Structure 1
């Protein structure tokens, strides 16, 4: 009996801390599909689950749903906020075929998510990759996106930024402790800007998992395989996608971003949805939307028509 009790205690300790009822959000899964079969996408949900007004927050390439904790806590006063872990990241399943880690797969997963929650229309905040997913949906399913926030991403993606990101995606080492993991997070993400120690620790703790005595990044290293498959020799141009978007759009750019150029933002204000543009000083790729002033920019744009 003592041995059985000990084994049960080990499994209890392995339960994610995020399942604690004291936390202000809920975590649940939805089923999605790829060419290789079914996979599970995990979501963090904030606010009233019966609120018909829904906000989707989609993260960047190697990040996860918990990046939006600060923003979601504020916006949950007005929205049902759902922050998915894009497949291969966070608590979601990993894909069998690593070359399925592409924007069309992510967009299809998100459309299934919207069907799952029976949402006819949502507002969308997307950081980097999350913004590309939002652009794809807004261009192909225009009725699904009410308002669109593109955080440091647009229709021109610079080759130099992709090459920079490709140097570290899927190549993170194992860490002996959380301090080593935080040092790595700071080293590969200087573009996040001058964050507090609390913010860096939050971004680290929510992005690693302890397994077999070491800490590892909470994403599939195979993402790097797809990312480096055909490295671009020129900037990626998707103006054809952006130009057909009609949802009211806000583009946020980090002053020192190497992924979204200032001239691209200027053109975004004249083409397609004629986005409203805001630049965040002292930040590169990408603003974390954790600072109160950055949160206020998103909040004011989404609520400016007085619907909430």
Structure 2
């Protein structure tokens, strides 16, 4: 099954998304990580598409979506939630399950809480946090801030693929064809003809102008839905002490949260193998 590529205007920006599955099926939103694109969700979406309508957006400033005109104000979780709220309304999505990798998990958390966008409260039925948590490791955030604003450039796509294979090794196993697709769907040409990762470097202003944007315990505590946190066993971003705390407060205190450590991965599991699919399927079944 192949997706349909579509565009919507959300919060005044052209937002690209891929749509998989039947239009009348239950909806899953699959939201990618910080410097990534909707294509990261291809394998998971293909797995879910026979049973679900799967919507995979490119966040503003990533992939084929428009770049922010006011990056210091708009590259932040509250604006991403506004875009998500508009996307729900434009696509006539009454309710949806949410699968979010890294940043995409944080976007799902703040959407499900309803604290930023009250109209979304009660419309997210379950939340899968793929190597994301309400508090992230400071050292890892500093590492991300250091590289995200200065993406490297290369003379060839093959050199860029070698770079991606190195930096995204913590994703776990990917086939050669998956690495090639990850590269080709994450590449843009610069004016001098060199290639670089396909995102707006100004998105790093989320970390300089919104320094505590990923400290979102208040949003997590407001959740009253099933939550599954997948932690890559070697993750440097999601700390075990934080996942333990997740089980004692908010949905964890109500018996709605679960934490699973994913072997062979760091930040973040690629959600592209049967073992990962089974974890997603289990949450969706629990929330049905």
Instruction: Give the TM-score normalised by the residue count of structure 2.
Output: 0.90
Which of the numbers 245, 258, 262 marks the counterpart of 1:267?
245
Which of the numbers 58, 69, 84 marks the counterpart of 2:31?
58
Which of the numbers 79, 90, 93 marks the counterpart of 2:66?
93
Once residues 139 and 214 of structure 2 are traced to their aligned partners in structure 1, the CA distance between those partners, rounded to angstroms, is: 11
Partner residue of 2:272?
290
Deviation at 1:190, TM superposition (A): 3.1
RMSD between superposed Cα atoms in Å:
1.9
Which of the numbers 160, 182, 186 marks the counterpart of 2:139?
160
Residue 251 of structure 1 contacts residue 276 of structure 1 at CA under 8 Å; is this kept in 2? yes
Deviation at 1:224, TM superposition (A): 2.1
Deviation track 1:249-282 (CA, whole Å, cap 9, x = no partner) reads: 1110000111111121122123211211111112
Deviation track 1:69-106 (CA, whole Å, cap 9, x = no partner) reads: 00000111111000000100010000111112000000
Which of the numbers 57, 76, 99 marks the counterpart of 1:125?
99
Alignment of structure 1 residues 1-308 onto 2, 5 Å = 24-33=2-11, 38-51=12-25, 53-99=26-72, 100-140=74-114, 141-210=120-189, 212=191, 213-229=193-209, 237-274=215-252, 275-304=257-286, 307=288
Deviation at 1:195, TM superposition (A): 3.1
> Gaps spanning 5+ residues in structure 1: where?
1-22
Residue 63 of structure 2 contacts residue 198 of structure 2 at CA under 8 Å; is this kept in 1? yes
Residue 158 of structure 1 contacts residue 236 of structure 1 at CA under 8 Å; is this kept in 2? no
Greater C-alpha radius of gyration? 1
Deviation at 1:236, TM superposition (A): 5.7
Residue 139 of structure 1 contacts residue 241 of structure 1 at CA under 8 Å; is this kept in 2? yes
Once residues 211 and 96 of structure 2 are traced to their aligned partners in structure 1, the CA distance between those partners, rounded to angstroms, is: 33
Once residues 137 and 166 of structure 1 are traced to their aligned partners in structure 2, the CA distance between those partners, rounded to angstroms, is: 24
Moved over 6 A (4+): none
Once residues 122 and 209 of structure 1 are traced to their aligned partners in structure 2, the CA distance between those partners, rounded to angstroms, is: 32
> Gaps spanning 5+ residues in structure 2: where?
115-119
Once residues 15 and 150 of structure 2 are traced to their aligned partners in structure 1, the CA distance between those partners, rounded to angstroms, is: 23
> What is the number of residues matched between the two proteins?
277
3-state DSSP of counterpart to 2:97: strand
Residue 9 of structure 2 contacts residue 15 of structure 2 at CA under 8 Å; is this kept in 1? yes
Deviation track 1:34-89 (CA, whole Å, cap 9, x = no partner) reads: xxxx21111100011232x1100011100010000000001111110000001000
Deviation at 1:133, TM superposition (A): 0.7
Residue 226 of structure 2 contacts residue 286 of structure 2 at CA under 8 Å; is this kept in 1? no
Once residues 210 and 134 of structure 2 are traced to their aligned partners in structure 1, the CA distance between those partners, rounded to angstroms, is: 19
